């Protein structure tokens, strides 16, 4: 039976396991993986390093014209790493000072338009897994499979703290939880492409399931949609 490549759009809150799950799903299906959150983090890093005023449209527009973001595969780690204007910034963009500002930068209309255009170009050939905040609602509303991930706030903070510890960054749990609450509030209330569940998205609460269980759930849904895309007469 013919199986057609599809677009898998994964949206949801920070530290729900979106990126880890998306990477593993992409690897299992032989799909490309695009971390849109990393793109906004790279823009944020550029803005911070160049002291770009978030209230100055001319500065923002000029800065965006100077930003080139790419993903390069690291054969040693088997991971895609983010490059900003040719420089590997994978580690730097994950630091808390970038996390503290990324939601504010992401609310800017010009920033979102620039990133969405790049993301849509990346997904034209399908066969991709893309995670972020507005993939199923704004970037690829036509995606064959949309998922929305959520989880208990405290558990998300604990996961985030563990991730930072693995990168030798010690951050207070209360500070992390405050950061997540702040980002949730901004992401969900912004005017341009707010974080919300698409009407046809499958919701997954990851509070008490493992990453492998998350991957299994997504792959099961994806396989069904891939078959259906190739054979529309089949029931989804």
The rounded percent of the chain whose pLDDT value lies above 90 is: 84
Q: H-helix or E-strand containing 205?
A: strand 202-205
Burial class (CB in 10 A: 0-12, 13-18, 19+), 177: middle
DSSP state of 88: E
Residue indicated by tokens 């990851």? 206
Report whether pLDDT(3) > 80.
no
Tell me what pLDDT residue 192 has.
Answer: 86
Spell out the domain ranges in the chain: 7-227
Please say whether the beta carbons of 69 and 58 come within 8 A: no
Mean pLDDT of all residues in 13-23: 94
Tell me the pLDDT band of 75, cut-offs 50, 70 and 90.
Answer: confident
Cα–Cα dist 84/112, whole Å: 17
What does the pLDDT read at residue 1?
45
Q: Residues 9-26: what's their mean pLDDT? A: 95
Residue 199 in this model has a pLDDT that exceeds 50: yes
Tens of pLDDT, residues 102-127: 999 999 999 999 999 999 998 988 99
CATH class of 7-227: alpha beta
Q: Is the pLDDT of residue 161 over 90?
A: yes
- Which positions ≥6 away from 84 have C-beta within 8 Å? 42, 45, 46, 67, 68, 69, 93
Instruction: Taking residues 72-76, report their average pLDDT.
Output: 83
Position 79 scores a pLDDT of 80
Gyration radius (Cα) of the chain, Å: 18
Instruction: Please check whether residue 146 is in contact with residue 136, taking contact to mean a CB–CB distance below 8 angstroms.
Output: yes
Query: Using a CB cutoff of 8 Å and minimum separation of 24, what contacts does 22-26 make?
Result: 22/129, 22/130, 22/131, 23/79, 23/80, 23/129, 24/211, 24/212, 24/215, 25/129, 25/215, 25/218, 25/219, 25/222, 26/128, 26/129
- pLDDT confidence band for 27 (50 / 70 / 90): very high
pLDDT confidence of residue 204: 98
Q: Is the pLDDT at 140 greater than 80, yes or no?
A: yes
CA distance 165 to 171: 8
- Does the pLDDT value for residue 234 go beyond 60? no
pLDDT band for position 2 (cuts 50, 70, 90): low
pLDDT of residue 229: 75
Q: Which structure tokens are listed for 131?
A: 């995670």
Which comes out higher in pLDDT, residue 207 or 72?
A: 207
């Amino acid at each position: 039976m013919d199986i057609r490549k599809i677009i898998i759009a994964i949206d949801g809150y920070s530290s729900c396991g979106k990126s880890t799950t998306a990477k593993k799903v992409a690897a299992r299906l032989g799909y490309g993986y695009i971390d849109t959150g990393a793109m906004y983090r790279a823009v944020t890093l550029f803005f911070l390093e160049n002291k770009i005023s978030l209230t100055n449209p001319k500065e923002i527009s000029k800065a965006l014209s100077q930003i080139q973001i790419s993903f390069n595969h690291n054969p040693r780690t088997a991971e895609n790493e983010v490059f900003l204007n040719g420089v590997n910034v994978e580690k730097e963009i994950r630091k808390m000072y970038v996390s503290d500002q990324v939601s504010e930068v992401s609310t800017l209309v010009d920033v979102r338009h620039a990133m969405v255009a790049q993301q849509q170009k990346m997904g034209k050939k399908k066969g991709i897994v893309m995670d972020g905040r507005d993939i199923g609602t704004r970037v690829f509303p036509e995606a064959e499979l949309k998922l929305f991930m959520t989880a208990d706030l405290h558990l998300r903070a604990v996961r985030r703290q563990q991730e930072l510890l693995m990168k030798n960054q010690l951050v207070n749990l209360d500070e992390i939880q405050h950061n997540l609450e702040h980002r949730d509030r901004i992401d969900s209330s912004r005017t341009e492409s707010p974080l919300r569940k698409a009407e046809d998205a499958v919701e997954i609460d990851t509070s008490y399931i493992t990453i492998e269980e998350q991957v299994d759930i997504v792959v099961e849904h994806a396989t069904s949609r891939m078959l259906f895309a190739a054979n529309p007469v089949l029931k989804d």
